[in-house]
Amino acid sequence: MKTNVNSQSSTTKNKKLGQKATNTIVNTIIYIILSVMSIIWVLPIVYLLYTAFRVTPDTGIINTLIPKDLKLGVGNFAYLFKDTMFPKWLGNTLLVAAISCLVTTLFVLMVSYALSRLRFKLRKPIMNVLLVLGMFPGFMSMIAIYFILKAMGLTNSLLALILVYSGGAALNYYICKGFFDTIPKSLEEAAILDGASQIRVFFAITVPMSKPIIIYTILTSFISPWCDFIFVNTIINDREKYTVALGLYKMINAEKSSFNENFTVFCAGACIVGGIITALFMSMQRYYVEGVTSGAVKG
Amino acid sequence: MGIQRAETLKKNKVKEFFLAIKNGSIWTKLSCLFMGAGQIARKQFLKGALYLLLEIAFILYLIFFGVGYLAKLGTLGTVKSSEVWNDETGVYDKIQGDNSFLILLYSVVTLILIALFIVFWLMNVRGNIKNDKRIANGLGVSTLRQDIDEFLNQKLYVPLLVPPFIGLLVFTVMPIIFMILIAFTNYDQQHLPPGNLFTWVGMDNFKLLFSGGLSSSGSFLATFLRVLLWTLVWAFFATFTNYFLGMIVALMINKKGIKFKKVFRTMFVIVIAVPQFVTLLLMQKILDVDGILNVVLGTKIRWLADTRWNSLIPRIVIIVVNIWIGVPYTLLMCSGILMNIPADYTEAARIDGASTVQIFFKITLPYMLHVTGPHLITQFVGNINNFNIIWLLTGGGPIDLNNYTDQAQSTDLLVTWLYRLSTDNPVRYNIASVIGIIIFIISASMSLITYNRSSSAKNEEDYQ
């Protein structure tokens, strides 16, 4: 009997030991896989940085990874700011992004609030129509938009870009409305009982409580002009009025040659754009996590 | 039965409306003809003046602009622009012909304006009927202050919705209506305004697509099916490789006993910080024949331009690059959800002797699929419309001469093909529109499935 118990406990011990051993093996394998994968994921970014700082006589044509006369420096950045229109493009993009993100955020908030909080006859039909409109591919209407802008005498202007980027803002109400739906109504009802008007409730209660979603909307709408080159390409022909995305795109894709001179300069520009967007994300990150109603209404 | 009731209800309302006009005061009747007359007579000057101005502006617009274009909408123009020798002056006189494009565009604008005008007209008459009622009840008409107050309270949705919807109308609705109409015309390289006219052709473009009518080489249907097949194959692989690889990485990072979680996560998430067009162009250069990958490997593989085996290499490379771009996003999403799986489930399973693999397939995976099901379909639709990755990596290419019809290249998706058809020579806007409509039908039907299944649509008031 005793031996039996002993043997039983020893087998469980063995089993545990075996489990521990397999666990260590599994963990080691996972560490190896994760390390290899992280390297694969980071390598292109490292390569981007390396190319941006690479100053060698063979600028552009990459026929060796590390040429004998390798020099690193900020030469590409200097060239980018002195000899290309990059500063101009940067300014254009900043302007367009800033204004269109303001308008977009305002529009999204207005539509979301109306559809989430106010009750009126056409509410459901409007939501359905917006849903359907959002399913048409954007490129389909690009040509028509170009001609509408032309009829308004707006082609080749940054204003056109702002209008196009913020014109469709109402379609992106969905996430923001979902957020408003989760804010308890009790606060607003209390305010209305106290005699506040609907519009005051919107500005004084809902907007301050929606910081995370507002910042999310600002971020996404600020970033999209930095990444779009298709609409810019259709609407704007004047090199002076390019945004960074189109400028950089044209820099290495203008001629259909397989490799051209500008690759290192392109990488330098890409680093700057990437840096700006990364910095934005880093500084705004904490708002994503911040609870919405924390402290306002408990339970 | 419900529909019938709704219809009778509507009929009653229309009847009521006309009855109210008939029995209404002289001002209500007058307002049907001269908008704002009633309001002005009842001292709502600002409102009345605005209505009146609107009517005048609208009539002027119609007379001097709208009607001219609307009249030609049926034919889209009959007079070609041409040059005629003028004996007196000794030069060619340009005769300004019709511009089909502008006729169609401005007709759409005019029709939308007419619709808007009707809305305003109804508002105007209703306002008068309301005033009649208020006077009959001895209330007196509302003051400007009361009106404004109403728009800031009960009718707050009007000022909130109108500005965004104007943007939507001009830059989304109008272009979409316009492009849908284009699908029923012969607007292509041979019919380019202003030199040439295009006209209505009914369903011909759709017939060309579905009956397999002859095009530049072989049948158009074959080209369409080829592109559609690749679009679906791409969307399938792109969605599922990202989803499962991202989930596996998330599981590995979140596994108990794994250290440096934050380091690993950051390594992947860095990719998100760089704008997609940058990473894609970078990848395009890395994978070039003279690119760094071939330099390091010492090979000369044309990763993005090999046309052998039906362009198999570029296709696979695109999906692999997409994994590199997409996995970090899935990782972020899955990490959050994985932490939310109730620990009791996995613990209970472990005590019952389930292995890690079993736990994954019986608990983790079903849970993930349940939570992220709608997300998967959205991703799938997003990938069908994933213009950037194809355009920036291969540009839709390579051109495989054995397999190059109707401007559709080897890795073209429906969207890139649409773009090519409306930008490259010879342009075929009509066919591009047809493809746009088909993309819409595909995404709409898939999204409808998701929308109906997602709980957020049904239970929007759950948390309030």
| Contact residues on chain B for A32, CB-CB shorter than 8 A | none
Domain end among B191, B209, B237: B191
| Contact residues on chain A for B252, CB-CB shorter than 8 A | 30, 33-34
Instruction: Mutate one of B65, B99, B169, B277 to test the A interface: name it (highest A CB count within 10 A).
Output: B277
Which 1-20 residues of chain A touch chain B by CB within 8 A? none
CB contact under 8 A, A170 and B165: yes
- B180 and B303 assigned to the same domain: no
pLDDT beyond 50 at A296: no
Q: Does residue B147 form part of some domain?
A: yes
| pLDDT score for B238 | 92
Which 168-207 residues of chain A touch chain B by CB within 8 A? 168-171, 178, 181-185, 197-199, 202
User: Chain B contact for A289, CB < 8 A?
Assistant: no
- B269 and B406 assigned to the same domain: yes
Give me the residue from B163, B255, B296 closest to A65, CB to CB: B296
What is the reported pTM?
A: 0.81
CB contact under 8 A, B255 and A45: no
CA distances B313 to A15, B111, B233, B410, B418, Å, are: 48, 50, 15, 11, 24
CB contact under 8 A, B168 and A167: yes
- B352 and B281 assigned to the same domain: yes
Q: Does residue B422 form part of some domain?
A: yes
Domain end among B171, B191, B211: B191
CB contact under 8 A, B171 and A248: no
- State how far residue A39 is from chain B, nearest Cα, in angstroms: 8
CB contact under 8 A, B264 and A253: no
Domain end among B176, B191, B206: B191
- B202 conformational bin, left if phi > 0, alpha if psi -120 to 50, beta if neither: left
User: Chain B contact for A113, CB < 8 A?
Assistant: yes
| pLDDT score for A16 | 62
- B408 and B293 assigned to the same domain: yes
Give the DSSP H/E element, type plus range, for residue A175.
helix A174-182
CB contact under 8 A, B174 and A126: no
| CA dihedral sign of residues B208, B210, B213, B214 | positive
| Contact residues on chain B for A143, CB-CB shorter than 8 A | 179, 422, 429
DSSP-H helix ranges across A118-157: 123-133, 142-151
CB contact under 8 A, B156 and A198: yes
- B387 and B449 assigned to the same domain: yes
Q: How many CB pairs under 8 A join A and B?
A: 240
| Contact residues on chain A for B396, CB-CB shorter than 8 A | none
- B181 and B253 assigned to the same domain: no
**3-state SS track over chain B:** CHHHHHHHHHHHHHHHHHHHHHHCCHHHHHHHHCCCHHHHHCCCHHHHHHHHHHHHHHHHHHHHHHHHHHHCCCCCCCCCCEEEEECCCCEEEEECCCCHHHHHHHHHHHHHHHHHHHHHHHHHHHHHHHHHHHHHCCCCCCCHHHHHHHHHCCCCHHHHHHHHHHHHHHHHHHHHHHHHHHCCECCCHHHCCCCCCCCECCCHHHHHHHCCCECCCCEHHHHHHHHHHHHHHHHHHHHHHHHHHHHHHHHHHHCCCCCCHHHHHHHHHHHHHCCHHHHHHHHHHHCCCCCHHHHHHCCCCCCCCCCHHHHHHHHHHHHHHHHHHHHHHHHHHHHHHHHHCCHHHHHHHHHCCCCHHHHHHHHHHHHHHHHHHHHHHHHHHHHHCCHHHHHHHCCCCCCCHHHCECCECCCCCHHHHHHHHHHCCCCCHHHHHHHHHHHHHHHHHHHHHHHHHCHHHHCCCCCC
The more confident residue out of B263 and A295 is B263
- B111 and B254 assigned to the same domain: no
User: Could you tell me what percent of chain A has a pLDDT over 90?
Assistant: 8
Provide the residue range defining the domain that includes B310: 220-457
Taking the C-alpha atoms of residue B327 and residue B242, their distance in angstroms, rounded to an integer, is 5
Q: Does residue B385 form part of some domain?
A: yes
| Contact residues on chain A for B288, CB-CB shorter than 8 A | 258-259
Instruction: Mutate one of B168, B181, B187, B325 to test the A interface: name it (highest A CB count within 10 A).
Output: B168
Q: Please name the amino acid found at residue A105.
A: T
* A134 neighbors A226 (Cβ within 8 angstroms): no
| Contact residues on chain A for B387, CB-CB shorter than 8 A | 139, 230
**Angle at the Cα of B18 (from B15 to B19), degrees rounded to 5?**
80
Taking the C-alpha atoms of residue A157 and residue A137, their distance in angstroms, rounded to an integer, is 24
Give me the residue from B156, B273, B281 closest to A278, CB to CB: B273
Residue B305 tokens, joined: 């331009």
Which residue of B lies nearest to A279 if distances are taken between CA atoms? B273
| Contact residues on chain B for A31, CB-CB shorter than 8 A | 258
- B378 and B450 assigned to the same domain: yes
The gap between the terminal CA atoms of chain B, to the nearest Å, is: 34
- State how far residue B21 is from chain A, nearest Cα, in angstroms: 23
Q: Per-residue confidence at A260, pLDDT binned at 50, 70, 90?
A: low
For residue range A178-198, what is the model confidence (pLDDT) as tens digits? 778 877 888 888 888 888 888
Q: Does residue B463 form part of some domain?
A: no
Residue B56 tokens, joined: 């005048």
- State how far residue A204 is from chain B, nearest Cα, in angstroms: 14
| pLDDT score for A258 | 47
Q: Is the ipTM of this complex over 0.90?
A: no
CB contact under 8 A, B415 and A137: yes
Which 20-39 residues of chain A touch chain B by CB within 8 A? 23, 26-27, 30-31, 33-34, 37-38
The pLDDT profile of chain B, 464 residues, written as one tens digit per residue, is 455 666 777 778 888 888 888 787 888 888 888 888 888 888 888 888 899 999 999 999 988 888 888 888 888 777 776 767 777 777 777 777 778 888 888 899 899 999 999 999 988 888 888 888 888 888 777 788 888 888 888 888 888 999 999 999 988 898 899 888 988 888 888 777 777 778 888 888 888 777 655 455 557 777 888 888 999 999 999 999 998 898 888 888 887 777 888 888 888 878 877 888 888 888 888 888 777 787 778 777 777 777 778 778 888 999 999 999 888 888 877 777 777 677 777 788 888 888 878 888 888 787 777 777 777 877 888 888 888 888 888 877 777 766 666 677 778 888 888 888 888 777 888 888 888 888 888 888 887 777 666 554 455 544 44
Taking the C-alpha atoms of residue A33 and residue A28, their distance in angstroms, rounded to an integer, is 9
Q: Does residue B56 form part of some domain?
A: yes
Q: Does residue B214 form part of some domain?
A: no
For residue range A71-99, what is the model confidence (pLDDT) as tens digits? 777 777 887 888 778 889 999 999 999 99
| Contact residues on chain B for A34, CB-CB shorter than 8 A | 249, 252-253, 258, 264
Give me the residue from B356, B387, B440 closest to A135, CB to CB: B440
Give the DSSP H/E element, type plus range, for residue A244.
helix A244-253
| pLDDT score for B293 | 82
- State how far residue B50 is from chain A, nearest Cα, in angstroms: 24
Give me the residue from B160, B275, B356 closest to A274, CB to CB: B275
Q: Does residue B51 form part of some domain?
A: yes
Q: Does residue B200 form part of some domain?
A: no
The more confident residue out of A39 and B80 is A39
CB contact under 8 A, A133 and B154: no
CB within 8 A of A269, min separation 6: which ones? A80, A86, A244, A247, A248, A251
CA distances A196 to A192, A199, B132, B144, Å, are: 5, 8, 31, 20
User: Chain B contact for A110, CB < 8 A?
Assistant: yes
- B160 and B287 assigned to the same domain: no
Q: What backbone phi and psi angles, to 5 degrees, belong to A63?
A: -105, -10
CB within 8 A of B419, min separation 6: which ones? A139, A142, A230, B387, B391, B432
| Total domains in the fold of chain B | 2
User: Chain B contact for A263, CB < 8 A?
Assistant: yes
The more confident residue out of A255 and A103 is A103
Which residue of A lies nearest to B322 if distances are taken between CA atoms? A41
Which residue of B lies nearest to A183 if distances are taken between CA atoms? B464
- B300 and B411 assigned to the same domain: yes
CB contact under 8 A, A245 and B252: no
User: Chain B contact for A281, CB < 8 A?
Assistant: yes
The more confident residue out of A283 and A7 is A283
Give me the residue from B163, B286, B464 closest to A44, CB to CB: B286
| pLDDT score for B463 | 44
- B264 and B151 assigned to the same domain: no
Helix (H, G, I), strand (E, B) or coil at A72: strand
CB contact under 8 A, A41 and B463: no
- B186 and B236 assigned to the same domain: no
The enclosing domain of B404 has a CATH number of 1.10.3720.10
